[in-house]
Amino acid sequence: MSSPSYTVIIGLEVHTQLKTNSKLFCSCANEFNPDNPNTQTCPVCLGLPGALPVMNRHAFDLSLKTALALNCTIPHFTKWDRKQYYYPDLPKAYQISQFDLPFSENGWLEITNDEDGGPVRRINITRAHLEEDAGKNVHDESGQGGDSGVDLNRTGTPLLEIVSEPDLRSASEARRYLEEMRTLLLFIEVSDCNMQEGSLRCDANVNLHIHNEDGTTTATPIVELKNMNSFRNVEMAIDYEVKRQHSEFKKTGKTIDDSSKVTRGWDAERSVTFAQREKEDVSDYRFFPDPDLVPVVLTESEIEVVRRSLPETPAVKRDRFRTEHGLTEYDASVIIGQGPGITAYFEAVVFACGDGKIAVNWVTQDVLRDLNASESGVDDFPITSDLLGTLLKWITSERLTNKSAREVYAILKKRAVTGDEISVQDVETLAAEREIVRDTGALEAAIAAAIASRPDAVEDVKTGKLQAVGPMMGMVMKQVGGADPKEVRAMLISMIQDS
């Protein structure tokens, strides 16, 4: 079949833990601490009778910042509600969340197009709301049906839920949306976005619109996918689910009207999704306004203050890297996709050497390769942006060849391994030793000597076999270290032809 017989419909729910000192409603530490279970709790987050929650100002401000970076509308009035929720990881038996009046709605996030070079895709954001996280259950692994352990260190930590419209059309688009979201959250410094530690989590709502031969469309039942703990798993789970739903539809013909939303988990080991319990009806959560928390009312000028204080978003940065530093869309995305650390490093290198393209080549090739190999962060990278910037300045001012610069870089790396301090002056010295020779007198003498020693090769060059300059070039380069090979080659050929 030339065109697909269905359209994939995906909406994502992203949960991100906010980077605060304390929890959302109490002063317990908001810190990942699985090795010391139940050491970060108090009467409020344990849900003890009579304890009262008070909203963390910083958690609210971080939420507001995120919503504005996602181009959301901020209503002037917002409140919190109780969502009935009976699991041991939330001892109050309800979660404080936001139901009908979330603090933000109707935003968007732009992602690159599935098709190479296509225009960016604007994915609409339904809403973002601020809620408390649940604790962690530790299950008995023995298979003997032993008790589950509950650690309430995470209970009551601030969690931002960001719900997209069902605007995503493929698994790879969903992955790119998540990557873009993560990059944004990192750049505006609201979350660590560590998927291993659970500070960024994602559920996906997936179904298909089957295109029937008579021109009508039939929607398959919506499936909510859970347990996907990496972007790659999200992509694989959705891909699997699309195929599963298509074959299920061909088999049973079941439509969205025949089945309410069901939950399926992703089994990463077997690479399949599996049925989980039926999702409770929305009304079964029996939301009602939390009487312990008062509403938040904002003025337009308060919202404006936060909007103005927003750091440059990755999207704006990407545009600026293209226009200001001459980067391609791809290179700009590679740098920014590496996160704020590498991006700041890159910007410092550009500032020092004055050439975006040279800087991006070195950062994406040499620096990223070495960083990946060392598994250390850019902050611990021994060749700092100052050092690399200083070195690349020699290239941009045409005093050092790329090859010589790589030699210097390799020497710096060796010194770093032995733990030696490297100074900017060291870079200057190493570069100066390899400076491109502009003294044409010395160069001409060396070339003349080389020509005189190889009359056979000279004849070859004269008859058009230009590759015969090779051995003579070698002789010259050996004699005049730091000579620019391109220049030597050109001079050799022209002197032979003139002779």
Partner 1 sequence: MEIDEVRKVASLARLELSDQELETYGQNLTQILGYVEVLNEVDIKEVMPMPHAVDLQNVFRPDERGPSLNRTAALSNAPKTDGQFFQVPQILEQKDA
Candidates 19-27, 231-239, 381-389, 410-418: pick the segment binding partner 1 (CB under 8 A).
19-27
Query: 275 pairs with which residues across the strands?
Result: 264
CB 100 within 8 A of CB 29: no
79's contact among Zn ion, partner 1, none, with CB below 5 to 8 A by partner kind, is partner 1
Do 66 and 74 contact (CB within 8 A), yes or no? no
Q: How far apart are CB 296 and partner 1 at their closest, in Å?
A: 6
How many CB atoms neighbour CB 210 within 10 A? 19
Which residues neighbour 52 within 8 Å (Cβ) at sequence distance 6 or greater?
A: 44, 292
Q: How far apart are CA 107 and CA 67, in angstroms?
A: 8
Residues near Zn ion (CB under 5 A) are 26, 28, 42, 44-45
494 touching partner 1, by CB under 8 A? no
What is the CA 430 to chain-centroid distance, rounded? Answer: 36
115 binds, among Zn ion, partner 1, none (CB under 5 to 8 A by kind): none
Do residues 472 and 492 lie in contact, with contact meaning Cβ atoms separated by under 8 Å? yes
Which one of partner 1, Zn ion, none is in contact with 58 (Cβ closer than 5 to 8 A by kind)?
partner 1
Which of Zn ion, partner 1, none has residue 137 at its interface (CB below 5 to 8 Å by kind)?
partner 1
d(CA 334, CA 346): 11
Q: Which stretch binds partner 1 (CB under 8 A): 149-157, 173-181, 385-393, 435-443?
A: 149-157
Site string for partner 1, 21-40 (x = CB under 8 A): xx---xxxx------xxxxx
- Which entry of Zn ion, partner 1, none binds 289, CB below 5 to 8 A by partner kind? partner 1
Q: How far apart are CA 70 and CA 206, in angstroms?
A: 23
Which partner, Zn ion, partner 1, none, binds residue 265 by CB below 5 to 8 Å per kind? partner 1
Give CA–CA dist 225/243, Å, rounded. 14
Backbone φ and ψ for 214, nearest 5 degrees, come out as: -80, 10
Token pair of 218, please? 């039939």
Our CB check for partner 1 shows the closer of 297 and 410 to be 297
From the CB of 169, what's the least distance to partner 1, in Å?
26
Q: What H or E segment, with its residue span, contains residue 485?
A: helix 485-498
- 429: contact with partner 1 by CB under 8 A: no
Distance CA(120)–CA(16), nearest Å, equals: 24
Contact mark string toward partner 1, 42..61, x via CB under 8 A = xx--x-x-----xxxxxxx-
Please name the residues in contact with 87: beta carbons below 8 A apart, sequence gap of 6 or more.
134, 137
276 part of the interface to partner 1, by CB under 8 A? yes
139 lies in the site for partner 1, by CB under 8 A: yes
Q: Is 282 in the site for partner 1 (CB under 8 A)?
A: no
Q: Which of Zn ion, partner 1, none interacts with 441 (beta carbon under 5 to 8 A by kind)? A: none
Please give the helix or strand (H or E) that residue 78 lies within, else none: strand 77-78
Beta-strand pair 262-267/223-228: parallel
Residue number, 42 or 310, with CB nearest to Zn ion: 42
- Amino acid found at 186: L
Q: Tell me which stretch binds partner 1 (CB under 8 A): 170-178, 237-245, 292-300, 420-428.
A: 292-300
288 binds partner 1 (CB under 8 A): no
Q: Which is nearer to partner 1, 114 or 140 (CB)?
A: 140
Task: Kindly tell me which residue out of 87, 288, 330, 351 binds partner 1, with binding defined by CB under 8 A.
Answer: 87
In the list Zn ion, partner 1, none, the entry touching 291 (Cβ below 5 to 8 angstroms by class) is partner 1
Q: Which is nearer to partner 1, 251 or 277 (CB)?
A: 277
Return the closest-CA partner of residue 269 out of 227, 224, 241.
227
Amino acid identity of 12?
L
> Within 13 Å, how many C-alpha atoms sit on residue 332's CB side?
17
Q: How far apart are CA 480 and CA 325, in angstroms?
A: 35
What is the per-residue binding string for partner 1 in 169-208, x denoting contact by CB under 8 A?
----------------------------------------
Token representation of residue 248: 């299920």
The binding site for partner 1 (CB under 8 A) comprises 15, 20-22, 26-29, 36-43, 46, 48, 54-60, 77, 79, 84-90, 95, 101, 133-134, 137-140, 145-152, 226, 263, 265, 276-277, 279, 284, 286, 289, 291, 293-297
